[in-house]
Amino acid sequence: MQLFYQPELINGINTLDSEESRHAIKVLRRKEGDAIDLVDGHGKFYTAEIRKADFRKCEFEIVSTKEEPKRNGFRHLAIAPTKNLDRTEWLVEKAVEMGVDRISFVLCQNSERTVLKTERLVKKAVSAMKQSLKATLPQIDEMMKLKQFISSCETAEKFIAYVDFDNPVHLKDCLKTEQHSIILIGPEGDFDPSELDFALESGFQKVSLGESRLRTETAGLAAVHLLNLFS
């Protein structure tokens, strides 16, 4: 199934954007009267009929609507973006495939990447949402300073991944079903001890993701997988 994405749908005649119009008409060769499937990124699937098969501005009208089943838990990943941007793009793609509700990017003392444009990441997320037949686009936040992020976290179960061989508690043993969970993953050089202390003082719990030394983006994906399995 090929999904199109239109975040703002109105009653009556809607249009696909230029890229999706081109794809529908030139690539998939859809004609007037043909059905197309859409998502709005806010949790709804639509079936629509093409009213005008214009490859620059394809017009369509919605025929039926279906709600995506809701999960009760909330899966929130906060992570320092990697030096190599490809690895962060990959993480966004895979996290959306597995299922995530919000991704926040944090700037840490040891971050090698200090600037992040989220535009390409949102595109990756849209593409992964459509490919994995989901109707909800996760919220993707602009990067903010770690302490600012930590201070902004309100009521939720909050975890910080930090390798501590004296006291390893695995994330899988901390998650509870249907809860709002935030998991925080550090940069390539890990968190500074002062950052860890600040997180712990702010109600974060220190957890492990297992015995293997994982790259930042792999740790992020392992955390998202655990949030899907256990929360």
Binding site for a copy of itself (CB under 8 A): 90, 94, 97-99, 131-134, 172, 210-215, 218, 221-222, 225, 228-229
Residue with tokens 């600037």: 115
Max intra-chain CA distance, the chain: 66
CB of 60 to a copy of itself, least distance (A): 24
Nearest in space to 156 (alpha carbons), one of 128, 135, 175: 175
| Whole-angstrom Cα Rg for the chain | 20
Least Å from the CB of residue 102 to a copy of itself: 17
CB of 224 to a copy of itself, least distance (A): 10
Q: Using the minimum distance from each CB to a copy of itself, give the nearer residue, 8 or 165.
A: 165
**CA distance linking residue 176 with residue 186, whole number of Å:** 23
DSSP single-letter state for residue 143: P
- Closer to a copy of itself at the Cβ: 13 or 133? 133
**Shortest reach from residue 225's CB to a copy of itself, in Å:** 5
Would you say 110 or 194 has its CB closer to a copy of itself? 110
User: Which CB atom, from 18 or from 131, has the smaller least distance to a copy of itself?
Assistant: 131
Measuring CA to CA, which residue among 77, 67, 47 is closest to residue 138? 77
CA 138, CA 160: separation in Å to the nearest integer? 21
- Residue count (the chain): 231
Helix axis angle, 85-98 to 216-230, nearest 10°: 10
CB of 9 to a copy of itself, least distance (A): 23
Asked whether the beta carbons of 184 and 198 are under 8 A apart, the reply is: no
C-beta closer to a copy of itself: residue 20 or 93: 93
Distance of alpha carbon 77 from alpha carbon 103, whole angstroms? 5
For a copy of itself, the closer of residues 160 and 226 by Cβ is 226
Distance in Å, CB of 222 to a copy of itself, minimum: 6
